Amino acid sequence: MNDVLTLWERAAAAPPDVRDEALLGAAAPASLSARNAALLALRARLFGATQRLVAACPGCAAQLEFEIDCGALARSLLPAPDAAGAHELRHGGYRIVYRVPESGDLRAAANADDFATALLRRCVAQCELGGIAHAVDTLPDEVTDALSDALDALEPGTCVDFDLRCVDCGVQWNAPMDCAAVLYGEVRARAEALLVEVDALARAYGWSEAQVLALSPTRRAAYLQLVGAA
Ligand SMILES: [Zn+2]
């Protein structure tokens, strides 16, 4: 449980766009898929693999609850073994040499007027049509779609999302999950609850924070009940 408090302190001090790195620490992978997989694996280790999520239906605003298995999802998101490095796409006369986007690319592109084009400019090293250089921001949709499919195959976990269907109105939609924001929300809630418990037992028994946190959850719950704080 000390883990949770340490994580919370570290992540609370970080701006939201680098919270994934704050949660994962120095070991945060550059690959976006590997990073999301690591966040889900951390969630499974801290709070268990089964996670209940809630999404609001865009059709009727009903709250839809669903469960995911963070461990299994993490394993399905891992990047292809050859994802890092340069790749070549040939499509309809175009030849594109590119690499997969990393977290630094997303941050750099985040403030651009056109996010998708800014990302392409960073990750495309060469773009040619019939052997002549071609601007990446005027690629036809079918080429950018082919590039997007190729990126998905290399980095299946860049975006984590779920295909949902509302049981009330039948609307189907795709709900994205910000793995870092969801995990931080849980870490913060657990940390705040722990501090309330430490406060109650420190007042009642004069124990230090370390002493309270060293108690097993079962003993801590029993003492909290004894002092009327649970
Ligand atoms: Zn609905």
Say how far apart CA 144 and CA 215 lie, in whole Å.
Answer: 56
Report the candidate in 130, 30, 139 with the shortest Cα–Cα distance to residue 85: 30
Q: State the pLDDT confidence band at 6, using cuts at 50, 70 and 90.
A: very high
Helices (H), 13-89: 19-24, 32-47, 70-76
- The 10s digit of each residue's pLDDT in 21-74 is 999 998 899 899 999 999 999 999 999 999 999 999 999 999 999 999 999 999
Cα(70) to ligand 1 centroid in Å equals 25
Mean pLDDT estimate for the chain: 93
Give the bridge partners for 65, in sequence order. Answer: 54
Cα(167) to ligand 1 centroid in Å equals 7
The residues near 153 (Cβ < 8 Å, ≥ 6 apart) are: 80
Cα(130) to ligand 1 centroid in Å equals 48
Structural domain spans, the chain: 2-79+160-226, 87-154
- The 10s digit of each residue's pLDDT in 88-104 is 999 999 999 999 999 88
Cα(173) to ligand 1 centroid in Å equals 10
The pTM of this model reads 0.86
Q: What is the DSSP letter of 78?
A: P
Cα(54) to ligand 1 centroid in Å equals 13
Cα(165) to ligand 1 centroid in Å equals 8
